[in-house]
A and B are shown apart, each in its own frame.
Chain A
Amino acid sequence: MRATVVKDWLDERLSISALSAIAHKKEVPVHRHSIWYYFGGMTLFLFVVQVVTGILLLLYYRPSAENAFESVQFIVTEVKFGWLIRSIHSWSANLMIATLFIHLFSVFFLRAYYRPREMTWVSGVVLLFIVICFGFSGYLLPWNKLAYFATKVGTEIAGVVPIVGRPVLRFLRGGDDVTGATLTRFFGFHVAVLPATATVFLAVHVLLVQLHGMSVPPSLRNQNVRKMKFIPNFLLRDLIGWILAIGGLAALAALFPWELGEKADAFAPAPAGIKPEWYFLFMFQTLKFLPAKILGMDGEVLGIMAFNIVALLLFIVPFVDRGPENRKRTLFFNVIGVLALLYIVVMTVIGYAT
């Protein structure tokens, strides 16, 4: 009785029943590719895990070159369940990037970006780059040796871009070198700028998904496709995935706690065989393979420019490949997608093996 009163009171002011009606109206197609629908939700769930664990870490983390390492050390050794929160934050970040890549490629191969979902794709690509920035900025925050040198190398790579490279490098580092100033601004990006931007684009992305509904792959559009209610059928399935993800994260945190390493020391030599995080490895390996000079130009600069161009091309995919009618174009995009996937996998494997 009392609950109904509260519900009615809220409904009168917030139109909850109208929003609920929209959500209950949403349906999800059921077919042999439906499994890929879950990766968007999984990425969103892992993002929420990041937000929650990130806020908990903020209670103890101190963003300065003098205190950052010690504060993380304190979190994982002294704070009750601090080790769990920190490990889950690190593992979840990596799993989120993995599910994001899977989501991106599944949307690409299932052509879920066709009209009218172009802007859903564009907002998704923006979110991909935001998440990569989250990874890059968060990696430095424990201020350990590996993170310090990986950031040094990473920002150096940004610095070789013609014209804008040097100012970008100085902006990222807060000076010429990676110092406490770099840590402070990376912290600012990680906990303020990037979350704010991500929230906006995430809201747009989710809203567009709700607006347009789930895309049915073009190859199945002429067939009778079963549908299930988003609420509760699909959401409960999502929930199973999320519950299992929590179990997976807990297992990873307990069995393979995320290493802290040694405190960063600007005067120490760079550790041998230093490598970036796995999601940057294919680019790093490419730059290592490139010759010093290509057609008289700096090979590294050309490589970085090429990756920048590919990143820009990602945005325009739905505006070039506009429908299934042009079979040649569809085939071309399939080949490009498979080659890109193979390239990323092979280069990452080589990067780890060498």
Chain B
Amino acid sequence: MDQYFLRGFLCGPLRTSAYSALKMRSNAAYAEVRRGPQRNVLAVMVLLMLSSVVAAQKKSSCIDCHIKLDDPRLSAPAKNFEHDIHRGRGLSCNDCHGGDPNADTSEAAKDPRKGYLGKPRTVDIPAYCGKCHSDANLMKRFNPSLRVDQESEYYTSVHGKLLKAGEQKVATCISCHTVHGIRAVSDPLSSVYPLNVADTCAKCHGNADYMRAFKIPTDQVSKFKTSVHAKALYDKQDLSAPTCNDCHGNHGATPPGITSVANVCGQCHARQADLFQTSPHKAAFDQQGLAECITCHSNHGIAAPNDQMIGTQQGALCVNCHANGDKGFTAAGHMRSRIDELIASIGKSNDILSLAERKGMEVSKPKFDLKGATDALTHARVLIHSSSTAEVDKVVTPGLDVANKGYQAGLDALAELSFRRKGLAVSLVFILFLALLVYLKIRQIESRQPVAKEN
């Protein structure tokens, strides 16, 4: 019997004093046990003792009864609880609902004198969960890194405020986390796993009938699923891509106001947000009461940005506010033309380098260097948020230099290829001529030689 076997056996189901006691004595006792033949006898005794403790710990008359009930509303909690994270941490029905799980009758198990609380009212649910989840000392025992402000944050949310005001249809803890089958956020089957959050919110926010009384749109999730964020989240399985709670908050869920929306987007798009704050648009948007980022990019159905959004042509967003002749109109046209110029230059360089590559020339270095121009293009697209033509020019001009160098490298490679081919043609003429000379020499030699024969 190995110490590690004992430890593994004890750790899983119990985490009880039995293991602690054994652990305390383990150094001395285990050394003793290993020495003599009595170690097997002792091990068997420990196992028997532990199995009886396990049997006693696992008794739950709540589950035993509820799992057999025909009414699915009553049997589901017992069935779902099997996968619940709380069960995995050693908690049972009575830890939330009170009562006596060791009692053999329903009446005795649900005796209010034994602290039986029963099913909480909707309005009581946050406090019901908060009993443990708001208790820092208690939660440390299970997960020291888990936050304990969910309940207080919840009451700052629109959901929490409405609940306090007596609204029963708002989301509480169990609306999002489910009940009796609660899983860890990191569990892909959890209703609050990043890939599942939008559908969880949509249960209410996508249901027009359910939301009618609140008079808010119900197309947020369907729009979100067409967005660039959803593409990253669902198509690329990029769990860092935002879903509902990343912008709205989770326990303190609330729609960001006009003044705070830039802060929400700026959590990830920090550079763009900073540039916008220094741009002339900042004051103008504030003056007109426009929300910052979403005025151009929209909110839930944010499409991947493209160069058509800027400029003075039809369909560009700039012309929604700027008219021909004003400063912004000129700046938009200038920034767009510089970006177009850089794109064309990169394309031209790429084409010629790819052509040289297809013809077998080694151009990996200039191709790599050309990435500098692509970086400049990306940077310029970000700098648009400053609305400053000077800032955009500062990166476009060196980007054009890099692209032009790439083009020149492509031209050089093709010139080198042409040189090689011409050189080959000349060399082959010499080589063939030399071979011909040797052939003529052989003819000359053999015309003078007698033919030898083998017998």
Residues of A near any B CB (own CB < 8 A): 27, 29, 73, 76-77, 83-84, 216, 224-229, 232-233, 236-237, 239-240, 243-244, 246-247, 250-251, 254-257, 259-260, 262
State the B residues within 8 Å of A (CB): 360-362, 364-365, 420-421, 423-424, 427-428, 431-432, 434-435, 438-439, 441-442, 445-446, 449, 451-455
Q: How far is the CA of A337 from the CA of B364 in the complex (A)?
A: 45
A250 to B452, CA, bound (A): 38
Other A-B pairs, 17, CB within 8 Å; known A27-B452, A240-B442, A255-B424: A29-B454, A77-B365, A83-B362, A83-B420, A84-B420, A224-B455, A228-B446, A232-B442, A233-B442, A236-B438, A239-B438, A244-B435, A246-B431, A257-B360, A257-B362, A259-B360, A260-B362
The 4 closest A-B pairs by CB, nearest first: A247-B431, A254-B424, A227-B452, A257-B360
CB-contact partner of A251 in B364, B424, B435, under 8 A: B424
Structural contact, B428 and A250, CB atoms closer than 8 A = yes
Q: Would A254 and B423 count as touching, CB distance under 8 A?
A: yes
- Chain A residue at minimal CB-CB distance from B451: A226
Given A29-B454, A260-B364, verify A237-B442 contact (CB < 8 Å). yes
Chain A residues with CB below 8 A from B364, complex form: 73, 260, 262
Q: Which residues of B contact A244 (CB under 8 A)?
A: 431, 435
Q: Which residue of B362, B431, B442 has the most chain A CB atoms within 10 A of its CB atom?
A: B362
For B431, give the chain A residue with the smallest CB separation: A247
Q: How far is the CB of B430 from chain A (nearest CB, A)?
A: 9
Identity of the chain B residue whose Cβ is nearest the Cβ of A78 in the assembled complex: B365
In the complex the two chains form, what is the Cα distance from A275 to B360 in whole Å?
20
* 25 A–B pairs (Cβ distance < 8 Å), ordered by A: A27-B452, A29-B454, A73-B362, A73-B364, A76-B362, A84-B420, A216-B454, A224-B453, A224-B455, A226-B453, A227-B454, A228-B452, A236-B442, A236-B445, A237-B442, A239-B438, A240-B435, A240-B438, A247-B431, A247-B435, A255-B360, A255-B421, A257-B360, A257-B361, A260-B364
Binding site of A, secondary structure by majority: helix, strand, loop or mixed?
Answer: helix
Interface of B is mostly: helix
Which residues of B lie under 8 Å from residue A246 when comparing CB positions?
A: 431
CB atoms of A226 and B435 under 8 A apart: no
A87 to chain B, nearest CB (A): 9
Closest residue of chain A to B413 (Cβ to Cβ) is: A77
> In the docked arrangement, what's the CA distance between A76 and B364, Å?
11
Q: Which residues of A contact B446 (CB under 8 A)?
A: 228, 233
Per the bound structure, the CA–CA distance linking A250 and B426 in Å amounts to: 11
B431 touches A225 (CB 8 A): no
